[in-house]
Structure 1
């Protein structure tokens, strides 16, 4: 089965919602609903119009992963919606890495030099993943003023793109 990563828009909202809510609610018991994430209902307006993007990872036509970029400042962006379906995680598929590389390439092409993200304490594998990819942990107080905070996030990272 071949992995295909491509930008996705509003026509994929339902598939993205299914993927992401299942992981958030069922796998990690994070008390978050679709009402807390209206961006998933308007992918194009929320991510693309401001200069960011939203990508899906597909295997055999099924959406198995996602990553999104919010451009929140002239040269800065925030990673959002980084999720990979449990059965497709790990080195064998390498989906998270591929998604991150697509997003970083997009940043380079669009002169976004600083990437930030927030995550949650329970998502230990995610933290290890970001640290392996040279993201450095920063305190919430050191986030840029315009960083789009998510209420659940309690750990923050930054990557300088050269």
Structure 2
């Protein structure tokens, strides 16, 4: 019998492998999406490798790595063109938080951080927050990572200034 954690892991691996297949060219170009939209469920604090990324650093989308036998996020120098860039961190204040309030706080906080850093906007660049999970929250993690990406492809070196 699969418990909820096992089911979540299987779902994450299956979803990531499907995304990798679609984005990696394992399907025909005609069926490949031209726009990739990421949200607060794309990766989370338990995605291997994400906790090694610091503010300002870039990283690739999670992908299965044979050496790690897991879906992993890897750092990539921003000048090489990366899928994502971390541009800041938020700390959720102490208090009584449910999942919906954490999500709202993360989205609002990351939008505010983006507006402060790029006050004139940044056309074609979107954002998403990386949230703590129920498990990391129970362990005391209240950190949200704010991430930028280009829905139509990789970020360029000028995007990641």
Superposition TM-score, scaled by structure 1 size? 0.28
Larger radius of gyration: 2
Larger RCO (CA within 8 A; separation ≥ 6): 2
Q: Which has the higher strand share?
A: 1
Superposition TM-score, scaled by structure 2 size? 0.28
